[in-house]
């Protein structure tokens, strides 16, 4: 039997807290929790513990704190910056069993969801009550509420509703001392000091363990139209999006490029979206209580050049148009382990950045494959580079420095995780980082939660 910090005693205490079935120590079983989705980030956990209630999470935190064993909170493990991958010897605190969903509160248009509820289940649940959840993303079947809060997830609808932080009315979270902060009453106004839910949103598991969230809901629109538009390049896409922003129904504006679409088609067997191979393809979607098709058509017809456009209003046909965009992530992963560089630029600098970044990558990593796509309405490009070894960060460094030169940010929506913490000072000042470090120290003085993530 190992000593006080030994694996056996720790496992025994955790088994007593959550039950033997929920403490995983078999290396084969743990493997899926230790590696991130891209394959770039690989850790080695001491064990995986799966508490079933908030009280059990608090017990787990207290047990680990008592022996000084680090905790890595994990939800659907769909993050793309290594933020849920453990340092050697850490405990993975998996929140999947916290999957309770309260009935939808129609009076306030809110719902309380456990950290382990998947986005798809949340969407179905609120949809059955006649409402929608404003945040949507392609990993919806696996991404969970807790992880989406912890990473302040963005996704496809940010230009209309904002990201996850904008939907969080309150959270429940377990602190490093085992205390529980619970703000789930759904108060729309509550001006009583520091906004802890807002602070935990985007804290990447470094301050506390989010166990539930009270979420704002949006109308479930009866009418939705999706259009795919072939264009000459990103400047044309930006001009068109500027025009479409006047539509109050505009919900998504996504961009992709010819070489990425080729890779998607090769991987999925999808046909090319147009007979002409356009350098750039824009996907826009509008949703409203009354049919937005005429408004969208009028805005597209007012464009200076005729546009090659495919339009769909029925569910399956719209999903078909989305597939070229949504299947980029899996298609990129299929050609190799990607460097996923999720960046944001001032809209006025996006086109210059895009034209500069491709030759820059070719210079730093000759022969690498670059696939760019993203949320053009938000100034957010996903620069994916396949070719350099996972631990060769030369291309990451070059791209982040170009972003900084354009006054952008090295993370738009994926967070910092392990992937980007070495570059945080490129786009956050020394005073910013000192303030963040002071907050970390106040919440987690022992460095229990997610060491090696976010802060340099
Ligand atoms: C997306 O927009 O599809 C996601 O952020 C995933 C990705 O960047 O691959
Ligand atoms: Zn994205």
Q: What is the pLDDT of residue 2?
A: 39
| pLDDT at residue number 180 | 98
- pLDDT of 213-267, one tens digit each? 999 999 999 999 999 999 999 999 999 999 999 999 999 999 999 999 999 999 9
pLDDT-derived band at 304, boundaries 50, 70, 90: confident
pLDDT of residue 8: 80
pLDDT of residue 85 exceeding 70: yes
Res. 31: pLDDT tops 70: yes
Expressed in angstroms and rounded, the spacing between residue 69 Cα and the centre of ligand 2 is 33
Ligand number nearest to the C-alpha of 326: 1
Task: Tell me the CA–centroid distance for residue 411 and ligand 2, in Å.
Answer: 11
Residue 189: pLDDT over 60: yes
Mutate to test the pocket of ligand 1, among 328, 330, 340 (most ligand atoms within 8 A of CB): 328
Question: What local confidence, expressed as pLDDT, does residue 130 receive?
Answer: 98
d(CA 369, CA 208): 38
Pocket test for ligand 1, best of 255, 370, 372, 373 (most atoms within 8 A of CB): 373
Residue with the nearest Cα to atom 9 of ligand 1?
329
Instruction: Please identify which residue in the block is written with the tokens 């033997």.
Output: 20
- What's the chain's average pLDDT? 96
From edge to edge, which strands make up the β-sheet containing 369-375? Answer: 308-312, 223-231, 280-288, 250-257, 369-375, 380-386, 338-344
Give the per-residue pLDDT at 1. Answer: 34
Distance of CA 373 from the midpoint of ligand 1 (Å): 8
The rounded Å distance from CA 310 to ligand 2 centre is: 23
The answer, yes or no, to whether any atom of ligand 1 lies below 6 A from the CB of 329, is yes
pTM for the model stands at: 0.97
Residue listed under structure tokens 């309260």? 102
pLDDT digits (tens, 9 = 90+) for 391-408: 999 999 999 999 999 999
Spatial contact of 72 and 41, defined as CB atoms under 8 Å apart: no
CA 92 to centroid of chain Cα atoms? 19
Q: Which of 124, 299, 94 is nearest to 209 (CA)?
A: 94
Distance from the alpha carbon of residue 171 to the mean position of ligand 1, in angstroms: 25
């Amino acid at each position: 039997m190992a000593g006080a910090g030994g694996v056996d005693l720790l496992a025994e205490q955790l088994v007593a807290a959550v039950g033997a079935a929920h403490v995983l120590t078999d290396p084969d079983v743990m493997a899926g929790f230790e590696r991130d989705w891209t394959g770039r980030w690989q850790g080695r956990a001491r064990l995986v513990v799966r508490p079933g209630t908030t009280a059990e999470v608090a017990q787990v935190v207290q047990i680990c704190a008592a022996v000084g064993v680090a905790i890595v909170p994990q939800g659907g493990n769909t993050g793309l910056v290594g933020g849920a991958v453990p340092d050697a010897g850490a405990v993975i605190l998996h929140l999947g069993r916290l999957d309770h969903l309260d009935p939808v509160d129609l009076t306030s248009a809110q719902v309380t969801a456990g950290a382990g509820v998947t986005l798809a289940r949340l969407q179905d649940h609120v949809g059955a009550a006649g409402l929608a959840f404003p945040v949507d993303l392609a990993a919806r079947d696996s991404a969970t509420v807790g992880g989406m809060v912890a990473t302040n997830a963005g996704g496809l609808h940010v230009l209309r509703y904002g990201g996850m932080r904008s939907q969080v009315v309150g959270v429940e979270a377990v602190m490093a001392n085992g205390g529980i902060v619970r703000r789930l009453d759904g108060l729309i106004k509550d001006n009583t000091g520091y906004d802890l839910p807002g602070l935990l949103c985007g804290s990447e598991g470094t301050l506390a363990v989010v166990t539930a969230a009270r979420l704002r809901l949006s109308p479930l629109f009866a009418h939705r139209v999706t259009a795919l538009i072939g264009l000459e390049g990103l400047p044309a896409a930006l001009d068109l999006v500027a025009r479409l922003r006047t539509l109050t129904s505009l919900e998504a504006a996504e961009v992709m490029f010819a070489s990425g679409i080729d890779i998607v088609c090769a991987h999925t067997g999808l046909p090319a979206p147009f007979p002409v191979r356009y350098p750039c393809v824009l996907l826009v979607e509008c949703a409203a209580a009354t049919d937005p098709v005429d408004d969208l058509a009028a805005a597209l017809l007012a464009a200076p050049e005729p546009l090659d456009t495919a339009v769909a209003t029925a569910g399956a046909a719209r999903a078909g148009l989305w597939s070229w965009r949504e299947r980029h992530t899996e298609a990129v992963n299929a050609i190799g382990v990607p460097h996923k560089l999720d960046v944001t630029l001032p809209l006025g600098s996006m086109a210059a950045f895009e034209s500069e970044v491709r030759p820059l990558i070719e210079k730093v990593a000759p022969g690498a494959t670059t696939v760019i796509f993203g949320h053009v309405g938000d100034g957010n490009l996903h620069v994916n580079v396949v070719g350099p070894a996972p631990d060769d960060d030369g291309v990451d460094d070059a791209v982040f420095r170009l972003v900084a030169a354009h006054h952008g940010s090295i993370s738009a929506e994926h967070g910092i995780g392990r992937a980007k913490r070495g570059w945080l000072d490129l786009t956050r000042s020394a005073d910013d980082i000192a303030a963040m470090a002071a907050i970390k120290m106040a919440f987690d003085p022992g460095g229990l939660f997610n060491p090696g993530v976010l802060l340099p």
